[in-house]
Structure 1
Amino acid sequence: MLPTDTQTSEHDYTPYLDEIPDEVEMSIFDHLEELRMRIFYALIAVLVGVIGCFIFVRPLVQILEMPAQGVKFLQLAPGEFFFVSLKVAGYSGIVVASPFILYQVIQFVLPGLTRRERGLLGPVVLGSSILFFAGLVFAYVALIPAALKFFISYGADLVEQSWSIDKYFEFVLLLLFSTGLAFQIPVIQLILGYLNIVSSAKMLSGWRYVILAGVILGAVLTPSTDPLTQSLLAGAVLGLYFGGIGMVKLTGH
């Protein structure tokens, strides 16, 4: 029995997707040298980003102080605001340099990827970037104001709201970046589904454990102990997880 056109097409197409285009043999020392070069370029980009953000750190500090309206910030130790400025510039510089860092990572791993894996690379990088910045916005717009409102209102008739500038920014920056990382859940799900490691049905079958893990994750990632902030983050994590299941299902896995 002769194979049909469909069978021939599928037979020819599958090996094509599993090929590594322009494959070049490299020794372990060549790989290490390229890795060293990529890390060096990424560190230079971070350094430039940090220096640039430090130049404009005062507007950044003012933006991050906005959710705490009506609160007086105090410098409780010599140089505290200077070190806060360095911390804000450091975090901001990493965010600014992140596209270039991603580019270096892609350039390092790209030669070893098959055509199938390369097709996944673009959507993963784009989706991860969008979700990370969406997490930052969600934390700034929803989580931080909710947490600060709770702390300001609790005992407002007994204590005056005067906060350490260092402790405030430690709280804000940690909440921003932990939320941005938590928003990567759908990307991880898509990778696991695409690689046939975990199917959408398997992800959905463990929904009870996911809800428990979401509540625990919300408690661990939020630097505050108020239930409102933890509930908001846990709800966002669960929404992202079940949304990720839907996207994995749409891809046919």
Structure 2
Amino acid sequence: MKRKEDSKNNNYDSMSFTDHLEELRQRLLNSIYSILICIFFSFLIIKPLISFLEIPASDIHLLQLAPGEFLFVAIKVAGYSGIIVSIPYIFYQLILFISPGLTKKEKNLILPAVFGSGLLFFLGLIFSWWILVPAAINFFINFGADIVEPTWSIERYFDFVLLLMSSTAIAFQLPVLQFILGSLGIITTEKMLSNWKIVVISSAILSAVITPSTDPLTMSLLSISIIFLFFVGAGLTYISESLKSKTLSSSH
């Protein structure tokens, strides 16, 4: 096994800069092809997909206010769906590209981080879909319900839902960032926890920035989730530091 691994590393080291660029080009093309294919198949089932995304707005009349508005919505939904569905394959292409040139120590850091990033991305989508989107929509329906009837533009509705879901998924990458910084020794768990007050304030500001609505309920839920993810990241960093110290002590 060791000879095979050494042979792979030697083959990787013997590759020229042009070979690396060619491999990178091929990985990028594979990723782009996967996105286009997923967008195509998403467009084939676009009506059931849109009906599914309209579930939180079941009590709201969604209107097409301009010619072609529904077509543009369909293209947006297919685009977002295609990118999301193809993310596991894109991460797979990324791992195939970077893993041959990594040492065993670097693989133990990068590969779990890449896997964790993809997992947290989908958890962010699920959290926003089940928690944030219904909470925000119910807030807007109930606020002023006795004065105005909720009738929304279908394009504005999907802009709101897609932006909220994607921004939440990106915010869920915080523990991965903490894990990488902690594993590289750039920041320690003690330093992270000592700045918890700054994190609380920053989470409130970040929630206000990335949340497409201005309702306090959605921003509060997102802010609380970011704070929770921060402590999860601090816990992962602590585990990484403990494993590193045990390895150093055993080597001595």
Give the alignment's TM-score, normalised by structure 1: 0.89
Query: Whose helix fraction is larger, Structure 1's or Structure 2's?
Result: 2
User: 1:25: Cα distance to partner?
Assistant: 2.8
Q: Does 1:77 align with 2:94?
A: no
Other structure's SS at 1:73 match: strand
Q: Does 1:95 align with 2:84?
A: yes
- Pick from 110, 125, 132 the counterpart of residue 121 of structure 1: 110
Contact in 1 for aligned 2:62/2:151 (Cα 8 Å): yes
CA distance in 1: counterparts of 2:93 and 2:113, whole angstroms: 15
Alignment correspondent of 1:11: none
CA distance in 2: counterparts of 1:161 and 1:203, whole angstroms: 44
User: 1:180: Cα distance to partner?
Assistant: 0.7
Alignment correspondent of 1:197: 186
Alignment correspondent of 2:29: 40
CA distance in 2: counterparts of 1:157 and 1:32, whole angstroms: 62
User: 1:62: Cα distance to partner?
Assistant: 1.1
User: 1:121: Cα distance to partner?
Assistant: 3.1
Other structure's SS at 1:159 match: coil
Aligned AA (1:215): A
Aligned AA (1:175): L
Aligned AA (2:197): R
Aligned AA (1:203): M
Q: Which range moves more in the overlay, 139-148 or 24-33?
A: 24-33
Tell me the alpha carbon deviations over residues 199-226 of structure 1, each in whole angstroms, 9 at most, x when there is no partner.
1111111112111111111101100000
Alignment correspondent of 2:209: 220
User: 1:56: Cα distance to partner?
Assistant: 0.8
Identity of aligned residues (%): 51
User: 1:41: Cα distance to partner?
Assistant: 1.0
Q: Does 1:62 align with 2:51?
A: yes
Other structure's SS at 1:163 match: strand
Aligned residue-pair number? 234
Other structure's SS at 2:57 match: coil
Q: Does 1:110 align with 2:99?
A: yes
CA distance in 1: counterparts of 2:120 and 2:213, whole angstroms: 23
Q: Does 1:144 align with 2:133?
A: yes
Aligned AA (2:119): I
Q: CA RMSD in A?
A: 1.4
Contact in 2 for aligned 1:21/1:114 (Cα 8 Å): no
CA distance in 2: counterparts of 1:115 and 1:193, whole angstroms: 18
Contact in 2 for aligned 1:35/1:108 (Cα 8 Å): yes
CA distance in 2: counterparts of 1:74 and 1:61, whole angstroms: 13
Alignment correspondent of 1:4: none
Tell me the alpha carbon deviations over residues 214-249 of structure 1, each in whole angstroms, 9 at most, x when there is no partner.
111110110000011001000000010012111211
Query: Gaps spanning 5+ residues in structure 2: where?
Result: 1-7, 243-252
Alignment correspondent of 2:142: 153
Alignment correspondent of 1:28: 17
CA distance in 2: counterparts of 1:38 and 1:247, whole angstroms: 30
- Pick from 238, 247, 251 the counterpart of residue 249 of structure 1: 238
Other structure's SS at 1:70 match: coil
Give the alignment's TM-score, normalised by structure 2: 0.89
CA distance in 1: counterparts of 2:17 and 2:115, whole angstroms: 30
Contact in 1 for aligned 2:91/2:118 (Cα 8 Å): no
User: 1:166: Cα distance to partner?
Assistant: 0.4
CA distance in 1: counterparts of 2:235 and 2:109, whole angstroms: 17
User: 1:129: Cα distance to partner?
Assistant: 1.8
